[in-house]
Amino acid sequence: MSEQDVIYKTDALIAEDIDAYLDAHQHKTILRFITCGSVDDGKSTLIGRLLYDSKMIFEDQLDALQADSKKVGTQGQDIDFALLVDGLAAEREQGITIDVAYRFFNTEKRKFIVADCPGHEQYTRNMVTGASTADLAVILIDARKGVLVQTRRHSYLCHLIGIKNLVLAVNKMDLIGYDQAKYDEIVADYAEFARSIGIESFTAMPISGFEGDNITTRSENTPWYTGPTLVEHLETVEVLSSVDAEKPFRMPVQWVNRPNLDFRGFSGLIATGAVKPGDEVRVLPSGKTSTVTRVVTLDGDLDEAVAGQSVTLCFADEIDCSRGNVIAAADNPPQAADQFEATLVWLNDEAMHVGRAYWLKLGTQMVSVTVQQPKYAINVNDAGGPGSHLAVKTLELNAIGVAEIMTDKPIVFETYDESRSLGGFILIDKLSNATVAAGIINFSLRRAQNVHWQPTDITRADHALMKNQTPKVLWFTGLSGAGKSTIANEVEKQLAVMNRHTFLLDGDNVRHGLNKDLGFTEADRIENIRRVGEVAKLMADAGLIVLTAFISPFRAEREMVRKMLPEGEFVEIFVDTPLAVAEARDVKGLYKKARSGELKNFTGIDSPYEEPVSPEIHLNAADLRPEEAAELIIRKLLPLK
């Protein structure tokens, strides 16, 4: 392979001083940007053109591209630049982008990492992924079609994620004869929409990704356009890292660096600001302060480190600091709270479960979080207009909504406008570990600042000691008619004979009072169990042995209650009765109503029951009398003290 196949451009500097050239190349700034927009607007073709014109294609790649263009291309015998980016077989077969494709190229002035984002609505989640780290977005519009729904959706998401630099690239100008009037009409239409959602400015330009108009060189076909070419604009726009460097110092701790007894440091990526030896810093959420003594890297100590650099900080004092903490400027620290208003982009095929506990990952912090019913969903087709807010009970795939969220402990944060690193988060399903949503923090709720935990003198341990027993929550779960209430009642009777202090929470009884406002939708069932879990926890704190008899059909909610209690205090008892046996009993006539369609969302008929995977006690209840089942449970629980 020839030298010119590897090096994109030769110039006098390379010939005269290769070391100087490499040093200059190493210190170029990096711009991360995305291409987005609707289907077939030419995103992949544009990136292919950028790679081709910047000489970032090797000779063998060019040969393969020419062969593929003839075989599966969409441009006849001409080169199909989109094939440089669309590498998946499904993408080539359908002529669409499915996954985010990242490509690197550079010019004399700057390096670039570009993410080609899919235009199809069903792959919006991939677009959000690509946009999350971008400094700039190139929003493409097919000049023949104008502003479309997905153009609006992607523009709104870019604005939501905080991308300030937007390029409106009106593509395929060659297919409309470089018509200036049509171009001006599209730009005016987009400008009206942009103003409605709060986009203050954007740079518009007429281009042709296929023909190369206004990509790297000014096109003679658009003499009426006097703005920069796309590459000229990309080379001069301000990058995010330079903006972040001007903000107060923040560094989420990724790990404690302790290679030997003589060294202890705290490693992480600086999110914003700068730090140097001698700076006073504060560790959050504890609030402990110290002084930075060293800024350590693999290449040696630094006099100063700035946003975007990964470093290890050493302190003058031995203060507690661990993964998930945030090191910040002592005189200007971020906040900590546990209740927020957030904007969510739902990324999962399964709709959001209101009240269900998810993992929230913000920077290096990982906490449990519950999401309340959305205040509203955003209608991107009328964003900023009278119909921009839609009343919804949940969020479906690709929906954007605003909701209140509550974490199980305070997290260190800043609003997303102040910091992407401390204001942006993802939600993770606790069972599947799938990322289900991306979100941004709008603000903390005032009630989170007004409500504080009140310490009491009589502790949890004191309550248990007075009752001479170890608190437990015996969680009976199974189908309706499985025998949960009957067996739980028998267990409580036997515990009473043993002078144990107990309380039985029964599903039907609780719905007469505490949960009388809840129905039987999936969201209501989740809230039903959350409330019962909180009550059971309070009773366990009082030193009681709590028995609960609830269908509790979903594993996630049973696991949520388990996490509320100390290790070993939650005992899951699976009352395993076959559906046919439970239905044959049908003491309350519920199965009959469910089969006839009179009763909706009935577990085992038209609503699922998720069996426990590894319960502490598994009862084959169809083969046991209630007294036998109770004796078996008591034996497994002994000693109860």
Annotated binding site for ATP: 478-485
Q: Helix or strand or coil: residue 146?
A: coil
Annotated binding site for GTP: 37-44, 116-120, 171-174
Q: Which of 308, 422, 437 is nearest to 365 (CA)?
A: 422
| Residue spans of alpha helices (H) in 414-569 | 420-423, 446-450, 460-467, 484-497, 507-510, 522-541, 555-564
Amino acid at 254: Q
Q: Helix or strand or coil: residue 293?
A: strand
User: In the annotation, is 596 catalytic?
Assistant: no
Annotated binding site: 37-44, 116-120, 171-174, 478-485
Question: Per DSSP, which regions of 180-254 are E strands?
Answer: 203-206, 250-252
Which two three-digit tokens encode residue 324?
Answer: 């998930």
8 A C-beta contact, residue 360 and residue 405: yes
**Residue-wise DSSP of 365-411:** EEEEEEEPPPSEEE-GGGTTSTTSEE--SS--TT-EEEEEEEEEEEE
Q: Helix or strand or coil: residue 170?
A: strand
8 A C-beta contact, residue 314 and residue 294: yes
Residues 6+ apart with CB under 8 A from 285: 325, 326, 336, 410, 411, 412
Residues 6+ apart with CB under 8 A from 8: 54, 55, 56, 105, 106
> Which residue, chain included where needed, has tokens 């929003």?
139
8 A C-beta contact, residue 101 and residue 115: yes
Cβ atoms < 10 Å from Cβ of 329: 19
8 A C-beta contact, residue 213 and residue 222: yes
Q: Which of 234, 139, 136, 126 is nearest to 191 (CA)?
A: 139
Which two three-digit tokens encode residue 469?
Answer: 């027993």
Q: Which of 64, 61, 65, 123 is nearest to 98 (CA)?
A: 123
Q: Which of 543, 589, 597, 596 is nearest to 566 (CA)?
A: 543
Quote the CA–CA distance of 210 and 212 in Å, as a whole number.
Answer: 6
**Residue-wise DSSP of 591-623:** HHHHHHTSS-S-BTTTB-----SS-SEEEEGGG
Residue 137 pairs with which residues in a beta bridge?
Answer: 34, 166
Q: How far is CA 66 from CA 75, 109, 174, 215, 534, in A?
A: 11, 29, 22, 21, 65
Q: How far is CA 434 from CA 36, 124, 204, 560, in A?
A: 24, 16, 38, 17
Q: Which of 243, 316, 333 is nearest to 282 (CA)?
A: 333
Catalytic residue among 201, 208, 552, 607: 552
8 A C-beta contact, residue 46 and residue 39: no
Quote the CA–CA distance of 637 and 288 in Å, as a whole number.
Answer: 43
Residues with catalytic roles: 552
